[in-house]
Amino acid sequence: MTEFKSDFLRTIYDRGYVHQCTDEAALDHELAENAPRNAYIGFDCTADSLHVGSLIPIMLLRLLQKSGHKPIVVMGGGTTKVGDPSGKDESRQILTEE
């Protein structure tokens, strides 16, 4: 698909952010016709800082916001309790509130 009705999809495709998408037409329709939509990203608060791997999702949320949608950033809660098990052989143990 080359002509998007959604400003968001047009922008992220123009910038080369998308490698592949399962159903571009349905996503384009949803973002253009049923706006505003919500999107979120969660961060693990036990980490020392954000890292470069967080940059693209943050940039995408900002572009979503500039396109008239609603970004939500979650810090803590379930994201912090579970943490980031990437690169490990097993899942992290769920942390307590403390």
Task: Name the band, by pLDDT with cuts 50, 70 and 90, for residue 93.
Answer: low
Integer CA distances (angstroms), 71 to 43, 54, 89, in order: 14, 15, 32
Average pLDDT over residues 74-92: 62
Long-range contact set of residues 52-59: C-beta below 8 Å, sequence gap at least 24: 56/17
| pLDDT the model gives residue 42 | 82
**What's the pLDDT tens digit per position in 10-51?**
999 999 999 999 999 999 999 999 989 999 988 877 777 888
- Taking the C-alpha atoms of residue 51 and residue 38, their distance in angstroms, rounded to an integer, is 24
Whole-model pTM over 0.85: no
- Taking the C-alpha atoms of residue 73 and residue 10, their distance in angstroms, rounded to an integer, is 23
